[in-house]
Amino acid sequence: MQDLATSVQKYLREVLGISAPVDKSWEKEVELPYFLRDAFDFRAMELMGQSIVMAIDKSHSKPPLSEIRKWIDQVSRISGKPVLYATHALASYERKRLIEYKVPFVVPGNQLYLPDLGLDLREYFRQRAKVAETPLSPASQAVLLTALLRRPWRPHWQPSEITKSLEYTPMTLSRVVKELISSGLATRNTESRSVWLQMANSPAQVWEKAKPLLRSPVKRTIWVEVDGPDVNQPRPLAGLSALASLSMLTEPKWPVYAVTSQQWKEATRDGVQESPEYVSGAQEWQIWSYSPTLLPGSAVVDVLSLTLSLQDSADDRVQLGLQELKGKLPW
């Protein structure tokens, strides 16, 4: 636990330029219930002239965030001081949930949230390059994901093959190549008159490196009434329907499908009607910024795009499903 306490001090010094003395113990810890003492290592701390208590997570299996909120509130009532929850790592949805709960927390090297002191300081991991601030265009994202999904894995590949299958123009191909090279995800090799790209890392490593540059493919979500000649044509499952088909998540109350903007326009010309709100028997359609069928013939959108479309969900069940989905990645 001393390592995490030291990391917190170092982080505060680097971010705020302040010294935050931390005692080895907190005298009122003996007044706490045993389950709280089992869950946290408590330290008295001085931050910007205010005495607070730091509760360092020491559990091997993290309890639900709602429980952490109750426990931190209980410690705060007993101590009469703000309580700072400290942990080594939090997923993005966990940080968002703690902020919604207004639970002060610190993840050294990543984020400090102290609403009682008016602090919400966020930093990104140092290994993220500056180019991560500019996301890939939808076309570049689609091409990259297609390259990662293909089997067998080919680190040396021809982007024109993929852009052709996705029906992108030569101008789009040129832009895709420039973006993938400038982002550091690929290097260019020229063989004859064709352009080839080379990835130096494994597909798993490329995926992790690319994630800060990737965005949800979902542009808009709409309700579609089932009455219409075009509604029942085959479309890939997306959203919660797709996740339920690939994990233990319960099926949603209505089916969710993905279409492109062009497919939506064609459907409306054929008589499909958008509903302003959910009505019994309606379908949920996601309009994507690129093709939801990067893998032709699949009844479900690809696992990488699905992950991106749901990664910011605050629903714990969805996040558990996404954790399960990691076991189905193609590498």
Summarised one tens digit per residue, pLDDT across range 211-232 is 999 999 999 999 988 765 555 6
pLDDT value for 249: 93
Higher pLDDT, 240 or 279: 240
Structure-block tokens of residue 160:
């024109």
133-to-57, 77, 175, 265 alpha-carbon distances in Å: 31, 41, 18, 32
What are φ and ψ of residue 160, in 5° steps? -65, -30
The pLDDT-based confidence of 45 (bands split at 50, 70, 90) is: confident
* Mean of pLDDT values over 162-179: 95
DSSP 70: H
Taking each continuous run of H as one helix and of E as one strand, the counts in the chain are 12, 13
d(CA 252, CA 131): 37
The pLDDT-based confidence of 244 (bands split at 50, 70, 90) is: very high
Q: What is the mean pLDDT of the chain?
A: 86
Q: Are 71 and 83 in contact (CB under 8 A)?
A: no
Residue 104 pLDDT > 50: yes
d(CA 50, CA 227): 63
Residue 100, burial from CB neighbour count under 10 angstroms (0-12, 13-18, 19+): exposed
Residue 138 identity (one-letter amino acid): P
* Mean of pLDDT values over 7-25: 80
d(CA 83, CA 40): 12
The rounded Cα 197 to chain-centroid distance in angstroms is: 27
d(CA 207, CA 148): 8
pLDDT value for 109: 81
The pLDDT-based confidence of 280 (bands split at 50, 70, 90) is: confident
pLDDT value for 328: 86
pLDDT > 70: percent of the chain: 90
Higher pLDDT, 59 or 321: 321
Structure-block tokens of residue 151:
């089997």
pLDDT value for 170: 94
For 109-146, write each residue's pLDDT tens digit. Answer: 888 888 766 555 554 333 333 444 589 999 999 999 99
Place of tokens 């090279």: 181
Report all structural domains of the chain as residue ranges with CATH numbers, in order of start.
2-122 (3.40.1350), 130-213 (1.10.10.10), 218-328 (no CATH)
User: Taking the CB of residue 77, how many other CB atoms lie within 10 A of it?
Assistant: 9
Half-sphere exposure (Cβ direction) of 92: Cα atoms closer than 13 Å: 11
pLDDT value for 136: 95
pTM of the model: 0.61
Query: Three-state SS for 240?
Result: helix
Higher pLDDT, 120 or 173: 173
* Mean of pLDDT values over 50-65: 81
* Mean of pLDDT values over 176-201: 87
Query: β-strands 83-86, 50-57: how paired?
Result: parallel
pLDDT value for 186: 93
Maximum C-alpha span of the chain: 76
* Mean of pLDDT values over 273-298: 89
Residue 282 pLDDT > 70: yes
Residue 184 pLDDT > 70: yes
User: Taking the CB of residue 309, how many other CB atoms lie within 10 A of it?
Assistant: 24
